[in-house]
Amino acid sequence: MNEQQRKEQSKLRTGKSVDKKSSQDKPLSEKTTEDFAHYFQTTYQPPNINKARKRYREDIEVHYDFTIPDEMNSIGVDKNFLIRTYGCQMNEHDSETMAGILMQMGYKATTEVEEADVIILNTCAIRENAENRVFGEIGHLKALKVEKPDLIIGVAGCMSQQETVVNRILEKHQQVDLIFGTHNIHRLPQLIQEAMFSKAQVVEVWSKEGDIYENLPKARHGNIKAWVNIMYGCDKFCTYCIVPMTRGKERSRRPEDIIQEVRQLAAQGYKEITLLGQNVNSYGKDFEDIDYLFGDLLNDMNKIDIPRVRFMTPHPRDFDDRAIAALAKGGNLLDHIHLPVQSGSSEILRRMNRKYTREAYLELVRKIKKAIPNATLTTDIIVGFPNETDEQFEETMTLVEEVGFESAYTFIYSPREGTPAAVMEDNVPMDVKKERLYRLNELVNQQSAQSMQQYEGNIIKVLVEGESKRDSEVLSGYTEKNKVVNFKGPKSIIGEIVEVKITDAKTWSLDGELVTKTTEVNENAKIHT
């Protein structure tokens, strides 16, 4: 369907004439999308938030036929690429796909900007400061583009899905050759081809909800832990959030495709997977032909011989009994649950359109703790939502204490153009918001430190990921509950799950001593004693 849409739009674009002169005479503030239309010479459809808001009941198509055009197959030989990723795990994983596609085209990865022939900024639109950082980076790249005119600079990800961002880049940042959206990653070879041979900036952003593209190559970061997308998009429309507009509608991958991918990862020796989705536990709700939900997928994951399975991010509203029952079985399903609450006030939650109350959230927590007594909970919280009162903020503080979150991602509300909250009047001054964030962080730090204390003297399992960033003599890894552990040991145990005795608990990490002793037998085999 998208391919069809692309072809139709492509036919349309040649028939459209725009009065370039009159549009150029207007000041930027008065320009409309029409005025920018002449830039969209290679655009199949300008991004449009209002269209993205509409959810059509069209079938989602799953495509299994990804190929790179012959003429692009080795275009990257002796050339380098660099992808800079901003934002969430979903973006990290999209970057792995882009890297996989570029490597199939012959490009090699580099970390040096000066060595790159293709630079892609994979962007995040969730808060204003994330966007500002990207525009800063685009500005820095201007000098390099002047020095190296053949360099291809691309902007991808959630920012590209916003019309205002695309217009701003087209108007002010001529050094950007290519803008493409979250639904267009599979078209990267063709887009690079157009950018190489076209004189104009290339823009391809589909507002449509998106199909599913299987079999895209992936260059995964490391060989110990892997991300696995299980669904895409979001239909929740929280009033503060841009994601439903940038990521399209909720659509689940077929179970057999996920199971096959995880089996392959297990066979390749990966030790941990994280199932990914904007609302990972809404998985399966869009299937019309099968009754197969997130709980069923968890049960199937539990049958695969991979030591650790995590998931990010579940929505409280969709946390059903089937999922809780599956998690309660344990096995490779870890008992760390990241459950974003956003606010402890039912009134703020109502205005956020979260579709649950404080009481419903607490009831869900009770249910989870009853079924999984050792469950660890962490969360996301927004402070300073428009007109949040002191009392409503205090409700967030008491909820954090009552649940006993062991850590939290905390944010000051950031207005996002095109979202309902952005036009709400806001009487909360920024210094009050900052003060609330500070108090909340103090509480979260205190709870994190307390949770760490309980490990002192205990022996816990750690998946060893590599050398610590601060000291190459020290190894670093994660516990089942996602706590960082630093300890000394031989490099040969990187990638293994080992036992570590905790000697010192800090606020955000644990220090320990290796209990499992590893004797190297030869290069490939190790014996644990």
DSSP state of 384: -
- Residues 336-365: x where in contact with ligand SAM by CB under 6 A, - otherwise, as a string: ----x-x-----------------------
In whole angstroms, how far apart are CA 221 and each of 17, 81, 277, 423, 522?
46, 15, 18, 40, 26
| Residue 411, contacted partner among ligand SAM, ligand SF4, none, CB below 5-8 A by kind | ligand SAM
Which of 206, 222, 113 is CA-nearest to residue 156?
206
DSSP strand pairing (202-204 vs 178-180): parallel
Q: Does 278 bind ligand SAM (CB under 6 A)?
A: yes
Q: Are 240 and 421 in contact (CB under 8 A)?
A: yes
Q: How many CA atoms lie within 13 A of 149 on its CB side?
A: 2
- Residues 187-226: x where in contact with ligand SF4 by CB under 6 A, - otherwise, as a string: ----------------------------------------
Cα 417–419–213 angle (5° rounding)? 95
* 126 vs 170 by CB, closer to ligand SAM: 126
Q: Does 411 bind ligand SAM (CB under 6 A)?
A: yes
Orientation of helix 163-172 relative to helix 128-147, angle to 10°: 30
Q: Does 407 bind ligand SAM (CB under 6 A)?
A: no
Give the DSSP H or E segment for 95. helix 89-104
**Contact with ligand SF4 (CB under 6 A) among 244, 295, 344, 386:** 244
Q: Does 243 bind ligand SAM (CB under 6 A)?
A: yes
- Residues 165-204: x where in contact with ligand SAM by CB under 6 A, - otherwise, as a string: ----------------------------------------
**Contact with ligand SAM (CB under 6 A) among 135, 319, 413, 478:** 413
**Contact with ligand SAM (CB under 6 A) among 23, 37, 84, 88:** 88
| Residue 88, contacted partner among ligand SF4, ligand SAM, none, CB below 5-8 A by kind | ligand SAM
DSSP strand pairing (225-229 vs 231-232): unpaired
Q: Does 124 bind ligand SF4 (CB under 6 A)?
A: no
What are φ and ψ of residue 202, in 5° steps? Answer: -100, 125
Helix (H, G, I), strand (E, B) or coil at 122: strand
Least CB distance to ligand SF4 at residue 361 (A): 14
| Interface with ligand SF4 in residues 306-325 (CB under 6 A) | 315
**Contact with ligand SF4 (CB under 6 A) among 42, 279, 332, 407:** 279
Q: Does 234 bind ligand SF4 (CB under 6 A)?
A: yes
Buried-exposed string 227-247: b where 16+ CB fall within 10 A, e elsewhere: bbbbbbbbbbebbbbbbbbbb
The beta-strand segments (E) located in 300-429 are 308-312, 336-338, 376-383, 408-412
The residues of the shown chain that bind ligand SAM, judged by CB under 6 A, are 88, 126-127, 240-241, 243, 278-279, 313, 315, 340, 342, 380, 382, 411, 413-414, 416
The residues of the shown chain that bind ligand SF4, judged by CB under 6 A, are 234, 236-238, 241, 243-244, 278-279, 315
